Each structure stands twice: as structure tokens, then as C-alpha cells.
Amino acid sequence: MQFHLNGFKPGNYQVPDAARKPYPAPPIEDLPSKVDVLIVGTGPAGLTMARQMSEFPDLTTCITDMTSGPLLFGRADGISCRTIEIMEAFNSSEMVVKETYQLKQNTFWEPDPANPQNIKRTEKIADARAGLSEFTHGIVNQARLHELLIDGMANSVSNLRPHYSRELLALEVDESLTQDITAYPITATFKRVDEAGAGKIETVKARFAVGSDGARSIVRKSLDIKLIGDSANKAWGVMDILLNTDFPDIRIKSFIQSKDYGAVMTIPREGGYLIRFYIELDTIDPEMRATDINVTEQDLIAKAQKIFHPYVLDVKEVAWWSIYSVGQRLAERFDDRPVGSPASVMPRAFVAGDACHTHSPKGGWGLNTSLPDTFNLGWKLAGVLQGKYEPKLLDTYSTERRKVAQQLIDADRELSKLVATRPAAGDTSEKAKIDTAEIEAFMKRQSGFVSGTSIEYFPSYICTGQEHQHLAPGFKIGQRFHSCQATRLADGRQQHLGHLVKADGRWRLFLFGGAQNPTSPTSDAYQLVDFLANDPASPVLKYTAQNSDIDSLIDTYAIFQQDDLSVPDLPNYLWPAKGKYGLTDYEKLFHNQDAHDVFAARHINKDEGCIVIVRPDQHVGAILPVQAHDAVAAFFDHFMIAPR
């Protein structure tokens, strides 16, 4: 898709440039006085949390922001493979894939040895993230991602919409009420900042609160959570521009190092014309803020033109620009409990996204780490509120996501030093060449982390069964369930198994059958299905509410190797009757074919098969033998609550 030909225009890219109009200001409605979940901030973390909560009509959610309306431009642009996988869980990946610019290559430029005042390309390589997912790392305006999440909220059963023009003044937690799940210990005080209601004070009582209100988070400060780490000492300029140039790699992500003027990183944007520049500026005092730096957009353009010499940059329009100086900092804790609190102490307020980890935007990790923060938290909080899970499950949010944030800080610190390396006047080109090679090596080494596909949670009661990892090495316990295509038995359709794991709060149990005939009552697969369907110890029977569909909590799929199977020959638990009419669900059974051999692709033991338990956030919770009925029951018994 191409757009922005005659100037940058925000909005829905499905609307032609000439007809696209800015979003109208959303109406102002009073805040609810009492909610189950209060979310402060409509960045990627806040909107992902709200989008997740909108799936549960029995829970009341409120999301606020001090801005006057949705984001229109600027901020993050990179959309990792893992982020698109999460958008698929919200049934929104198709639009992201259609609109994003797909990153396929990287180029590296450095001073020309023959004429060091000029730059010269040293290498063009394929993007190291290729093949890590069925999706490709891409670039799109963060506002479009926000729009897809907001539209999903509005079109959900909850019809959830953000409340704008609200400045959070204070958030208080009544410690005497925090361990009573039915209580509302959170009191949040807001001030209206729109013209019509300027100064009006509103108060919201909440059972839980999530602060996703950015690096200067009021929620974090209200909870007295400290940020630990380094202050910023390097300033960078960032701008999205429309330009004409003879630089040959303008539509390829490029790292450019000049001899005397510093570095630039270029990222082609969606639409075919827009380009983002990250421009290295000077070292600054740690106490300074980006707003203290006296630099204009024309200064940024002039600096870039010097770095790109001898190539011409004829900038026609600056769609957005900013100066940033962000240090690498990590919150000491991700919830309101004191450091070191046991899991039995229930947290009631959380921080997510930039509110608990700050870093530079050059690696494209901000949005792509913030969004999974609340994708991790949302299903856990919803299940605790619904009485499905023990409150101790909420402790796993901090332990799982703080590890990821620490990895992010470490990687960003390394990348910032590499990209900002500026050879002093008189240095040989060999120094620059070494730096370029280091950047390339870093990108290859960190490809799984950058893509989000290798993010792995510590072993715990919801990431267990490591002793059985050999049964399916391609589904790494703790990492996201790596999707692979299989053939649906009922109609022959090729289906990505990972796309079956939607953001609806349900667990998925994938049965990969071994060499035995699954229609035989003596086979391991048949006996597992019989256990799930009929045994009182079955977690499906024990924890699924009466009068609910059999797959409303634990959704089971089976993938068999045999080609000569027929749906009616298999236990009806695998093709259950559902809904008010008892209609048959024919889409839970798959068989293996050579063209789409999931057993080979994910190295699944073809003789024994295995069980893969997938969490509601798409991460692998356990791998177990097909015969391990007791272990399947024990996994869910550890944290689930039987319905009354």
C-alpha cells in the first residue's frame, strides 16, 4: 500500500489520502464511580490491557488518559513479529500485515577510506529476524496500532472506550483492604483538562489499578516505586520526513557512521515515501531534559545532511520530530507490594510499559515490550476477578516481566553504545569498520529477542515440565507457542495452530498423537481424551462452570499423524456439541501431511507424541507425556478454583 504522497496525513490508511480526515474529538463522558479495573494511560500497554479486559463482559473496566484524544503520529514505529502474533490473538493481524512496511534488509555505511568526508556502503545483509515467525518485522505508525486496539475494544461485548482529558492527581491504596478480593482499595482522583470541564474533580474506586502512564508515571510515583539505573547522557533527534534523495538505500534500514558528524539510523516507514531518521546529537548533562536542548527541526536536517555527504537530502516535509534523552532504568518492583513479598500477598496496583522500564527507542523495543507486559497481566487479572484463579497467580506478572525488562535494558545499553560510536577526527576507517561489524553481530545475536520470539519465562508452576522438553524441542517451555500449519481433518484446510490461541482467557491443550491408532480404546491418545471428558479428576470437568461449553475454559485440539481418520470415528469430546443449539464444532481435529508436517517442523516425538499446554498469553505452560493424566490435573490444580 502507498500513501502520504502529497503530504503526511494521519488516520485510517484504508481511506485514500485525498479523503482521509483527522479523527474527531471523542465525546467527554463522566468517569464511573466504581470499577473492577482502572487503567491509567492509553499507550500500547494500557490499550492492550483494555483490549484484553473488553473480552469479559462480567468485569467493569475504565481506561483514562490526559490527552484530548487518540494518538495521531510519532512515537514508536517498529512492530515485531511477536507483537503481530499478539495482534492475531485479537483478530487484528491482517490489517497490520497489510499496512506495515516489512523490513527485509539492513545496510551499513561508514567513512570512505579514499575520501573520509564521504560515506560508503560496506555491507547489505538480510534482516536477521527472517524465519523466526510466520509474520515479518514491520514498520507502521503507532497510532494505527492504537486504532486497531481501540476499535476492538469498541466492537467488543463490553463496548469499552477510553476516557480522555483526565489528569491523574493521586492514586491511593488502602492497605487495610488489599487482601480482600471483594474490596475496592484503590482511590484515584482525576482532574478534567478539557475546556468544557476544566478543573472538575472526579474520583474512581477500583479493585485493581494498572499504571501504563509513561516514563513520568504518576501511578508509579503514587506507589513510591523507584526507578533504578543510569541517567541519560546522550541526546538524539528523531524525525519522520518526506524527502527526495540520491542516497541509494533510503528504503532500507541503514546504520550510517560519518567521520566527524556522528551517526544516523534510518528506518523506512509505511506507505512508500515516509522515512524516520534517528540523529545522534551531543552528550548532555544527566540532569538535563530533552526539552532543555535548544535544537530545531532545521538543525536536525542540517546535521543529517552533513552525515550523508556526498548524498543530497532534499526534505520536503517534516511530519513529526522530537528530541529525546532516555536513560536505561528499571523499576525496583512492578506492583504495590514491598520488595520481597511472598506470592500469598495479593498485589492490587501494577505498573507496565514505560512506567516500569525506560530506554532509548532505537532498538524498537519500547512498544514491543510494553504491549506484552499487559498481555501477560490481563488474563491473570481477569481470571482472579472472575474467581477462576487463586490470587497468588498475580505474583507471576512481576517475576516474568521484570526479567524481560532487565534483558531489554541490557540490550538497549549495548546497542546505544554501538550506534552512538563516533570516531574522532583522524581515526582510520578500520575503527569505523570494526564498529559496523559489532552492530551487525549484535543484531544477529539479539534477533530472537528483538523479534520477541525468544522471550522466555522462568520455570514456575505455569512454566513446567522441563524434564519432558525432549518430546517436542520445537515448543520451548516458557516461550511463545511457535505456530506451525496443520491440515484440518474435517475440510482439509491448512490452519496455523498458533492462530487458534485467541486472547479470550482460555487455555489451550494440544494433543499431538503418537504412532498408535487414536481410534483404538487402548491407545494413549484415546485414553487421555477419555480422562479429560469423563474422569472426575479432569481439570476440564472440575473447573468448567455448569451450563458452559466444554471448551469454555480449557480448549482441546488434537493433531494426529494418521491420514485415514474420519471425524465420527474419534471421541466426541474432540468434536463437541456447543452453544444453545448444540451445534458440532468440527475445527478441533487435525492430521499431519508431508507438505505441512508439524511433527517434523517442531521436532515432536512421532512414536510417543506429547501434550502441549498453552497459556492464554500464547506461552507454553507445560509439555507432558500423553499418558500423564495426573500431571495434567496437577498443573491446573496448582492455581485454579473450582466453580461454586
CATH of the domain at 116: 3.30.9.10
Predicted confidence at residue 233, as pLDDT, reads: 63
Mean pLDDT check: name the lowest of 149-158, 178-187, 238-247, 277-286. Answer: 277-286
Q: How many CA atoms lie within 13 A of 90 on its CB side?
A: 35
368 shares its domain with 503: no
Q: Is the peptide bond before 310 cis (omega within 30 degrees of 0)?
A: yes
**26 is a domain residue:** no
Positive or negative, the CA dihedral 128, 132, 134, 138 is negative
* CB burial readout 167-205, b (16+ within 10 A) else e: ebeebebeeeebeeeeebbbbbebbbbeeeeeeeebebb
Q: Do 619 and 530 belong to one domain?
A: yes
On whether residue 13 sits in a domain, the answer given is: no
Q: Which three cell numbers stand for residue 321?
A: 520530530
Whether residues 307 and 207 share a domain: the answer is: no
pLDDT digits (tens, 9 = 90+) for 500-516: 999 999 999 999 999 99
Predicted confidence (pLDDT) at residue 488 exceeds the cutoff of 50: yes
The DSSP H or E segment spanning 35 is strand 34-40
Residue 253 maps to a domain: yes
Check whether residue 254 and residue 353 sit in a common domain. no
Question: In the Cβ-directed half-sphere of 304, how many Cα atoms lie within 13 Å?
Answer: 29
- Interval 297-323 mean pLDDT: 95
Render pLDDT for 581-635 as a digit per residue (tens, 0 to 9).
Answer: 999 999 999 998 777 799 999 999 999 999 999 999 999 999 999 999 999 999 9
Band (pLDDT 50/70/90 cuts) for residue 288 is: low
Residues 108 and 248 reside in one and the same domain:
yes
Amino acid letter, residue 432:
A
The reply to whether 513 and 587 lie within a common domain is yes
271 and 361 part of one domain: no
- Please give the Cα distance from 373 to 243 (Å, whole number): 36
Question: How many structural domains are present in the chain?
Answer: 3
**CATH number, domain with residue 540:** 3.40.30.20
Residue with cell 507432558: 624
| Helical packing angle, 366-385 and 395-419, nearest 10° | 180
**Residue 527 neighbours by CB under 8 Å, 6+ apart:** 521, 627, 629
Q: What is the pLDDT of residue 44?
A: 94
320 and 191 co-located in one domain: no
Based on the domain organization, do 96 and 208 belong to the same domain?
yes
Spatial distance between the Cα atoms of 336 and 220, rounded to a whole number of angstroms? 9
**Residue 486 and residue 569 share a domain:** yes
Pair (127, 160) in one structural domain: no
Residue 123, φ and ψ in degrees, nearest 5: -165, 145
| DSSP structure string for 459-524 | PBTTBB-GGGGGG-TTS-TTSB----EEEETTT--EEEGGGG--SSS-EEEEEE--SS-TTSTTSH
Greater confidence, 430 or 358?
358
- 203/254 same-domain check: no
Structural domain contains residue 1: no
DSSP label at residue 230: P
| CATH label of the domain that carries residue 212 | 3.50.50.60
Over residues 412-462, the pLDDT tens digits come to: 777 767 765 544 334 444 444 446 677 777 777 877 777 888 899 999 999
Positive or negative, the CA dihedral 333, 336, 341, 344 is negative
Contact (Cβ atoms closer than 8 angstroms) between residue 472 and residue 612? yes
186 in a structural domain: yes
- Rg of the chain on CA atoms, in Å: 26
Domain boundary among 364, 388, 410: 410
Largest Cα separation within the chain, whole Å, is: 80
Does 272 or 442 have the greater pLDDT score? 272
The rounded Cα 536 to chain-centroid distance in angstroms is 37
Whether residue 6 lies inside any domain: the answer is no
Q: Residue 193: inside a domain, yes or no?
A: yes
Average pLDDT over residues 298-322: 96
Task: Specify if 52 maps to a domain.
Answer: yes
Residue 280 CA to residue 422 CA, distance in Å, equals: 9
Q: What residues contact residue 354 under an 8 Å CB cut-off, 6+ apart?
A: 43, 45, 212, 214, 215, 217, 366, 370
Rounded to 5 degrees, what are φ and ψ at 494?
-85, 125
Query: Which range of residues forms the domain containing residue 96?
Result: 34-100+140-226+329-334+345-410
Residue-level pLDDT at 61: 98
Q: State the cell numbers at 325.
A: 534523552
Rounded percentage of the chain residues whose pLDDT exceeds 70: 94
